[in-house]
């Protein structure tokens, strides 16, 4: 299973960088969809993000029925979200499945992966 979660996380990084955006579930009263960490007792919470709106939509059930799929620009995510998440010990759950399973990634690890992928694609474009 862990191998599939790793593939999901890699797909998230690849698609988010190529599309220049990612998606979350948002409710005006409750904020962004999040849950308790499964694997990291140091994590205050895990905020959930997806690389495709359809993946986020799968979680619009039970607890998150009233939440809407919202796009987040990659630049805003890199500049505003991840540093704050790191300070608050909030991890990122990327491309989690409908059973709320996937990797719990430290915010700075995710930020570095996204920046590295951005630089890699920039190099490929300039070649």
* Structure tokens belonging to residue 76: 């805003």
Higher pLDDT, 51 or 125: 51
Given a cut of 80, whether residue 28 has pLDDT beyond it is yes
pLDDT digits (tens, 9 = 90+) for 45-79: 999 999 999 999 999 988 899 999 999 999 999 99
Q: Calculate Rg over the CA atoms of the chain.
A: 14
Domain extents for the chain?
2-126
- DSSP string of 1-63, one letter each residue: -HHHHHHHHHHHHHHHHHHTEEEEEEETTTEE-EE--SS-TT-SEEEEEBSSHHHHHTT-SGG
% of the chain surpassing 90 pLDDT: 81
pLDDT score, position 123: 87
> Token pair 């979350």 is at which residue?
24
pLDDT score, position 127: 76
Given a cut of 80, whether residue 93 has pLDDT beyond it is yes
Given a cut of 80, whether residue 4 has pLDDT beyond it is yes
User: Does domain 2-126 sit in CATH 3.40.1350?
Assistant: yes
Given a cut of 80, whether residue 1 has pLDDT beyond it is no
């Amino acid at each position: 299973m862990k191998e599939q979660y790793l593939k999901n996380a890699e797909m998230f990084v690849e698609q988010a960088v190529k599309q220049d955006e990612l998606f979350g579930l948002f409710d005006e009263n409750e904020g962004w969809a999040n849950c308790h960490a499964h694997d990291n007792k140091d994590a205050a919470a895990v905020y959930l993000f997806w690389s495709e709106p359809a993946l986020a939509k799968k979680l619009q059930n039970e607890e998150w029925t009233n939440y809407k799929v919202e796009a987040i620009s990659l630049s805003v995510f890199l500049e505003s979200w991840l540093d704050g998440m790191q300070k608050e010990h909030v991890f990122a759950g990327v491309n989690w499945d409908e059973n709320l399973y996937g990797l719990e990634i430290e915010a700075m690890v995710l930020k570095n992966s996204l920046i590295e992928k951005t630089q890699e694609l920039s190099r490929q474009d300039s070649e």
